[in-house]
């Protein structure tokens, strides 16, 4: 008895979404890479983008290119965002040297870290202000000055 293929709608979605990554999307400046493949990591519940990079003695060598956030579905807007990121990181494009990309990544990470520190300080300041306000009401203090 021959094996009957099982219909898996996720595979059709993956095939439709991988096409722009492999064949290119001119409006985003991406010429495509036929060695890319999308995979779903079931244990981690996330999509991953892999690239086949054969080496001598190891023709099936795949390199992890990108991972999606845990639990995030992949759709056309996610693929477009991924393509924009791939275009930014493509060292074969003019003006995209490896050194420039490292500097951009460091600058981005520094900005993100500063933003997290500022958000944490704001959250702490708000909590302290609420505490002092409630304590002032309870203790009968009518005016307080806070200096941060």
What is the rounded CA–CA span in Å between residue 131 and residue 137?
A: 10
Domain boundaries, the chain: 9-96, 97-148
pTM given for the model: 0.54
47 pairs with which residues across the strands? 40
Q: Are 3 and 10 in contact (CB under 8 A)?
A: no
Q: Are 85 and 28 in contact (CB under 8 A)?
A: no
Q: Identify the H or E element spanning 14.
A: helix 9-23
Three-state DSSP at 64 gives: strand
Taking only the tens of pLDDT, the chain with its 148 residues reads 555 555 556 666 667 888 888 888 889 888 888 888 888 888 888 888 888 887 777 778 888 888 888 888 788 888 888 888 888 777 666 666 667 767 877 888 889 888 888 887 777 777 787 887 888 778 877 665 656 5
What is the rounded CA–CA span in Å between residue 107 and residue 117?
A: 15
């Amino acid at each position: 008895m021959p094996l009957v293929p099982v219909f898996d709608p996720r595979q059709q979605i993956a095939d439709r979404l991988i096409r722009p990554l492999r064949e290119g999307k001119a409006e985003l400046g991406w010429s495509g890479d036929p060695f890319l493949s999308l995979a779903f990591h079931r244990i981690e519940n996330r999509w991953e983008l892999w690239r086949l990079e054969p080496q001598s003695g190891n023709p099936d060598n795949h390199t992890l290119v990108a991972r999606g956030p845990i639990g995030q579905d992949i759709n056309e807007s996610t693929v477009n965002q991924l393509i924009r990121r791939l275009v930014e990181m493509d060292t074969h494009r003019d003006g995209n040297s490896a050194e420039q990309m490292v500097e951009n990544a460091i600058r981005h990470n520094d900005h993100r870290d500063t933003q997290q520190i500022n958000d944490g300080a704001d959250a702490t300041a708000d909590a302290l202000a609420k505490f002092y306000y409630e304590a002032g009401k309870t203790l009968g203090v009518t005016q307080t000055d806070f200096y941060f």
